[in-house]
Amino acid sequence: MKLMNVMKLRKMPLWTHWKSRFEKIEREIRAEFQNLHRFLNEEEEADVERLKKERDKRVKILKDREKKIAMQGRDLEKAIETLNCKLREDDSPKLLKEIKELLKRCEVNFVRPSPIDSEIFSSQFVGPIQYRIWKHMKPSLYPNISLLTFDPETAHPLLTLSPERTAVTFEEGKETGENAAERNPKRFHYYYCVMGSEGFTHGRHYWEVEVKGKTAWRVGVARADVHRGEMDSSSTLNGLWTLSLRNGSITACTHPKPTPVLSYTPPIRIGVFLDCDNEEVSFYNAVTMNPLFSFYTGTVLVPLYPFYNPCDTDEGKNCAPLSIFHPSL
């Protein structure tokens, strides 16, 4: 759809359009790496400057110490010279009388310099430098990983959320106490789904979903006004851009039919990247960061929300929760 619209609008051959797109993406890659290089260069300069300051501090301490020792050495030399001059004089009662006073006058109090730390530890300046720089980098990442939660008002009645609203499980036979007349219009009442508590209309956003131990799941992005009941097609046609796992295979829920996604082993964590400005939704194996699939959303005039479906228990084989992954760092 996007490609055809662009081709009609620009009236250009396919290869020309591709060339333009690849060049634009290359510029984006180079710009992102330039930002990373700039950040790393600034961190490097800050570390080197910190090392230089410590070196200058140590050198100053050492020079001050040497200066004090030299001053005391000169005082000692003067005292010795004074004594030698007096001793070279003729022996006389006057010298004997003044010797005690002379020794007192020539006395030099040598003050021992305070000890200095001679060790210079590499760990104070290097250590786990890559880990440290990564921690410094994390707050400035864009997009940073979004710390999301589920919206309980959208959760199907048979879904149970954790107290932190970051994990969801399906409970067959759960007492819901809800009838059709009292149904919350925001709540899914046909598919076992729940949406995120925060929607997006612009910018780039990334989050991760833990699916370890599950035999079926569905995650992705949905329009704010996606239908809460039964749909003739739960695909892009109805405002859903999702991947799903079923029978050991991952598929992209495209229209008019699903698209198989090549993955040698089902991922234990799925990364979802929503780029509102470029109108794209992309999925990754969040452990290896290998791309899995990308959708073009087109222009969407309502917010887009994270979408989750833990699916039913699959006869006891799919009881593991579906969880929003929050990194510890």
Q: For the whole model, what pTM was predicted? A: 0.73
Place of tokens 């022996």: 91
Q: What pLDDT was estimated at residue 327?
A: 76
β-bridge pairing 269-275 and 204-210: antiparallel
- Give the three-state DSSP class for 15: helix
First to last CA, the chain: 40
- Give the three-state DSSP class for 50: helix
Residue-level length of the chain: 329
Rounded to an integer, what distance in angstroms lies between the CA atom of residue 281 and that of residue 1? Answer: 15
Q: What pLDDT was estimated at residue 62?
A: 86
For residue 323, the surrounding DSSP H or E stretch is strand 322-325
Strands (E), 133-193: 159-161, 167-170
Nearest to 110 by CA among 75, 63, 67: 75
Place of tokens 């006057």: 94
pLDDT tens digits for range 90-116: 555 666 666 666 656 656 566 676 777
Rounded to an integer, what distance in angstroms lies between the CA atom of residue 126 and that of residue 186? Answer: 53
Q: What pLDDT was estimated at residue 76?
A: 78
Q: What pLDDT was estimated at residue 1?
A: 47
The CATH T-level fold of domain 142-175+184-325 is: Jelly Rolls (2.60.120)
Cα separations in angstroms, 250 against 145, 187, 192, 221: 23, 26, 18, 16
Burial tier of 312 (Cβ tally within 10 Å: 0-12, 13-18, 19+): middle
User: Which residues, 6 or more positions from 310, have their beta carbon under 8 angstroms from its beta carbon?
Assistant: 159, 168, 169, 170, 192, 214, 217, 318, 321, 322
Amino acid letter, residue 85: C
Amino acid letter, residue 183: R
Encode burial over 33-43: b for 16+ CB neighbours within 10 A, e otherwise.
eeeeeeeeeee
**Domain chopping of the chain, boundaries:** 1-111+130-141, 142-175+184-325
Q: Which parts of the chain sit beneath pLDDT 50?
A: 1, 6-7, 9, 181
Q: What pLDDT was estimated at residue 221?
A: 97
Q: What pLDDT was estimated at residue 11?
A: 59
Cα 186 to its chain centre, rounded Å, is 32
What number of CA atoms fall less than 13 Å from residue 219's CA on the CB side? 33
